[in-house]
Amino acid sequence: MNVESQVLQWFDHFHKYPEVSWKEYETTNKLAEILDVLQVSYRRFDDVTGLLAEIGEGDEVIAVRADIDALWQEVDGEFRANHSCGHDANISMVLGALLLLKDEKLSKRIRFIFQPAEEKGNGANAMIDRGALEGVTHLFGVHLRPIEELPFGKVSPAIHHGAAMFLEGKITGIDAHGARPHQGKNAIDVTVAIHQALKNLYFSPFEAYSAKLTKIQAGGENANIIPGTATFSIDVRAQKNAVLSQMKDQIEKDLLAIKQLFDIEIEWKWEDVTPGAEVSKEAAAMTREGIIGAVGMDNLAEEVITSGSDDFHFYTVRHPEVNAAMIGIGADLTPGLHHPNMTFNYEALAIGAKVIAKTLSNSSKKH
């Protein structure tokens, strides 16, 4: 079986059996099974899913990361695990690169990081804590891009993700009869005030940022009860980490002011903070060279700037000495990432595998 067919077969399997963050048990088992067949050494963990594999020899280490989890979302009226972010493709492309490289003479070790829980924003930290970056000088990632960013065949040497954080909050007011609103403290009024406060966030127009309510839950079955309690979620994004920090401070000031204005309780917690990309010029130059070597200058695209986020960038936030870049693969992906019916041109899988392999091969020969 040639590499293209094998990569597609792997993709078909992972696409058929998606697993959500921290529960990628069978995905990890399948990866171990594939590595056993390929006779590639790997290390699993007792307490988390995912694994680390290595090929090559030498003291220096080049690494590549593939995220392995799926989303939990409604698909055709049913909630289930679904690979609408393309992590099944990322796994398959990185495995394809391993297949292309495993018998090549390498002067450095190449580590393959099959990372859980990217969608939860803390899988990268789990891998770092378990030694994924020990000895690593350069780290590469890969991800399919939506059609509005990259068409099929085009490949970008770097993805500049934005920073993101998510807030989970609870409002505690007082229930009241619909005929006597003055006796209660309406949690829906509070959520409307929070919504307006987010719309009134203003920072430099030269910066890209957004903040919006993404969940509001209040009330029950009875239309004549004014709800005193509500829960809500806020999605906050910025292209730069510094701007995200400013947004966080202002949102907390606004929540405190709203709490005082309505004389109710608001509790909140920030979760899944994901840093913006810190792209290494050196690593991006290496991916650029790999793209040209694998698919030619005509298919080299510009670096992608996107408001999306990825926990890949925790690797460089915690280890700034590591040179990192994430390769963007054009695949005519529509309607978009995280859409329940996301689809793409599967021929992009072989392109991605070749580009990753060429980048890693070149990198392993540099001193």
Residues with Cβ within 8 Å of 348's Cβ and at least 6 positions away in sequence, in order, are 89, 144, 152, 153, 329, 330, 331, 332
Is 338 a known ligand-binding residue?
yes
Place of tokens 């099974």: 33
Neighbouring residues of 126: CB distance < 8 A, sequence distance ≥ 6: 48, 50, 115, 116, 117
E strand or H helix at 80: strand 78-82
The CA R_g of the chain, rounded to the nearest whole Å, is 23
C-alpha 120/C-alpha 100 separation (Å) is 31
**Residue 87 labeled ligand binder:** yes
Dihedral (C-alpha) 279, 116, 22, 350: value to the nearest 10 degrees?
120
Does residue 115 contact residue 124 with C-beta atoms inside 8 Å? yes
- Residue 148 among known ligand-binding residues: no
Q: How big is the CA angle at 30 (ends 26 and 31), to the nearest 5 degrees?
A: 120
How far is 123 from 161, CA to CA, in rounded Å? 17
Q: Are 31 and 45 in contact (CB under 8 A)?
A: no
User: Per residue in 34-49, is it b (16+ CB within 10 Å) or e — as a string?
Assistant: bbeeeebebeebeebb
161 appears as a binding residue in the annotation: no
Structure tokens at 340: 């329940």
Is 33 known as a binding-site position?
Answer: no
From the annotation, which residues make up the binding site for Mn(2+)?
85, 87, 119, 143, 338
From the annotation, which residues make up the binding site?
85, 87, 119, 143, 338
